[in-house]
Structure 1
Amino acid sequence: MIVALWKALRGFGAHRGLFMAAGLSFYLLMCLIPMLFLAVSLLGFVLTSETATQAVLGQISQVIPVYKTELSDVLTRLIATRKLSGLLGTGILLLFSTQLFGALRLVMNEIFGVKRGRGFFRGMLSDVVMLFVMGTLFLASVAIMDLFFWLRTFVLTPSLMPRQWIRWMFVGLSLGLNAGLFFVAYRYFPGRKILAGAALGGALLGAILWEIAKQLFRWYIITVGVYDQIYGPLGVLVALAMFAYYTGIVLILGAEYGAALEAWRRSRR
């Protein structure tokens, strides 16, 4: 494990992980709103539009650890005033949303040593498929977290369960859901199927690092608050960009660890 971690760090440097993370953070910011629109549209088939919007925003507030009120206000206004609808609007949203998944596919190919990709059209098709797969997993995580909050309110808290236990249950559930998303990204985004054990190892490391990054970033913003002091009203946007950058770093580190584990397992065969 220690050797794999060391190789992951070396791979991060060799692949210029910081530059990769910067590119992924750009695509994440560019695709965030289109993906939110799609999530609200999909949830709108089973819920009212307002309920779907609040469900998605509630999940986003669990992912982004700071500026929850400001982000919710901005996203609510954007969703409420959106103009795209119908097949044309859905197609445009799909086109913008898949840019992030295309970038992820290229990054995963580089890290896992995939020499020959799927080609342009097959790559675009796989990006669309993975968009719906990851979107379905995201919506499933929304339902699971809502169920947990219901249990916390009506079962766990009334039963006088210690608050710290409930907190650790929430952290464990969050880690599990995040690890599932990381696992799908590491195993199925590259141009070849990655060994399940290697993808799982990278996913667990990525989920742990991401939870640590969220808590540290939250502590930093609350304690220092430098973005508000320097950038004023733009502090929320800058903080969101920095959090997207940290997310990209964690995603790449987890992938590098998975690649190191896969290389080690293949060498033993």
Structure 2
Amino acid sequence: MPHQDAEAESSLTHYQRGKQLLRYFVDRCLRDQITVTAGHLAYVSLLSLVPLLVVTFTIFSAFPVFEGLRENIEQALFANLLPTSGEQLRSHLNQFVGNASKMTAVGIGFLFVVAVMLISAIDKTLNRIFRNHRKRRFTVSFAIYWMILTLGPVLIGTGLAATSYLISLSQYADAYVSGVRSTMLVIVPIVTSFAAFMLLYIMVPNRIVKIKYAAWGAGLAAILFELSKQGFSLYIKHFPTYQAIYGALATIPLLIVWIYLSWIVVLVGAELTISLEEFDHEQD
């Protein structure tokens, strides 16, 4: 009996602790007004979308090893930009990118500045959420933003190459064990999203973020991101309100809504990461 009472008390303690953590997490999200911040980031993202794609595809063209993967890279990028109507969005953005690539050196420099604005906005937002008020020196910030713009596409290309390789292997394995390919198509996107969110929550804040806290935040963000894609696709297929109202222009409001939802997911993961750290410190 004493052993059972101790187990019951322990489970009750864990339940109360989880309830307090949930309340703390929700209150923090409300205080930081993540819905308003997500709207700001969505606006900056729309402004920076074409310049960022111009810089990204220019860097891709500088690496012949990624030339054969460009089609897969574009498909992955546009699939995450908008879960549906990807082909229509892809044709429009490719036209914009083609027009922008014909600009002069001054124009390309302006596009680079606009792309840096997006990275700077993400940097400032996450540091504000993590309650970090120490500002980096301008030279350090510029070096980091330049590294993200140059190495980011290379890392994306490498990650997509590995993903394509794993999925191609699962296609052969599916002949021997049924369901392997479909399982990989579900697991691999979540794993890659988890890795991307982990890097975001650890590398961007100008402070030390423990991996165990970032892992919980990245896990929540990755799951919410995949669920959001599925839910958004189902909504558009079964409730085509935007198509009826906007017609051929329906892709534009859909893109705005999806980018807004994506930023909410990113900020929720960041809030959970720092909430876990602060809650543990308060309990000690």
Per the TM superposition, whether the score is higher than 0.5 is yes
Match of 2:152 in 1: 134
Q: Which runs of 5+ in 2 are unaligned?
A: 1-17
Q: C-alpha deviations, 1:194-245, integer Å up to 9, x for none? A: 2222122111111111111111001101110111111122210110110000
**Equivalences for residues 219-234 of structure 1 within 5 A:** 219-234=234-249
- Of 189, 195, 210, which aligns to 1:180? 195
In structure 2, C-alpha distance between the alignment counterparts of 1:45 and 1:133, rounded to whole Å? 12
Q: TM-score, normalised by structure 1?
A: 0.87
Match of 1:201 in 2: 216
- Of 174, 178, 185, which aligns to 1:162? 178
Match of 1:258 in 2: 273
Evaluate the alpha carbon distance shift between residue 202 and residue 35 of structure 1 in structure 2; reply closer, same or farther with a 3 A threshold.
same
Say which is worse superposed, 34-43 or 256-265, in terms of deviation. 34-43
Match of 1:105 in 2: 123
Say which is worse superposed, 233-242 or 132-141, in terms of deviation. 132-141
Q: Is the Cα contact below 8 Å between 1:5 and 1:257 reproduced in 2? A: no
Instruction: Give the number of the structure with larger relative contact order, counting CA–CA contacts within 8 Å between residues 6 or more apart.
Output: 1
Evaluate the alpha carbon distance shift between residue 161 and residue 34 of structure 1 in structure 2; reply closer, same or farther with a 3 A threshold.
farther
Q: Secondary structure at the match of 1:98?
A: helix
Q: Secondary structure at the match of 1:137?
A: helix
Work out the number of aligned pairs and report it. 266
In structure 2, C-alpha distance between the alignment counterparts of 1:146 and 1:92, rounded to whole Å? 34
Larger Rg: 2
Deviation at 1:142, TM superposition (A): 2.0
Question: Is 2:55 aligned against 1:55?
Answer: no
Match of 2:63 in 1: 46
Say which is worse superposed, 53-62 or 76-85, in terms of deviation. 76-85
Q: Which runs of 5+ in 1 are unaligned?
A: none
Q: Report the aligned-residue RMSD.
A: 2.5
Say which is worse superposed, 127-136 or 227-236, in terms of deviation. 127-136
Q: C-alpha deviations, 1:171-212, integer Å up to 9, x for none? A: 211111111111111112122222222122111111111111
Q: What is the aligned-residue identity percentage? A: 22
Evaluate the alpha carbon distance shift between residue 88 and residue 260 of structure 1 in structure 2; reply closer, same or farther with a 3 A threshold.
same
In structure 2, C-alpha distance between the alignment counterparts of 1:235 and 1:198, rounded to whole Å? 39
Question: Is 2:71 aligned against 1:29?
Answer: no
Q: Is the Cα contact below 8 Å between 2:60 and 2:67 reproduced in 1? A: no
Evaluate the alpha carbon distance shift between residue 16 and residue 207 of structure 1 in structure 2; reply closer, same or farther with a 3 A threshold.
same
Evaluate the alpha carbon distance shift between residue 8 and residue 84 of structure 1 in structure 2; reply closer, same or farther with a 3 A threshold.
farther
Match of 2:162 in 1: 144
Evaluate the alpha carbon distance shift between residue 76 and residue 52 of structure 1 in structure 2; reply closer, same or farther with a 3 A threshold.
farther
Evaluate the alpha carbon distance shift between residue 143 and residue 92 of structure 1 in structure 2; reply closer, same or farther with a 3 A threshold.
farther
Say which is worse superposed, 188-197 or 218-227, in terms of deviation. 188-197
Q: Is the Cα contact below 8 Å between 2:66 and 2:157 reproduced in 1? A: no
In structure 2, C-alpha distance between the alignment counterparts of 1:44 and 1:239, rounded to whole Å? 30
Q: Is the Cα contact below 8 Å between 2:59 and 2:150 reproduced in 1? A: no
Deviation at 1:14, TM superposition (A): 0.2
Deviation at 1:59, TM superposition (A): 1.2
**Residue identity matched to 1:260:** S
Deviation at 1:118, TM superposition (A): 1.4
Evaluate the alpha carbon distance shift between residue 90 and residue 266 of structure 1 in structure 2; reply closer, same or farther with a 3 A threshold.
farther
**Residue identity matched to 1:116:** R
Q: TM-score, normalised by structure 2?
A: 0.83
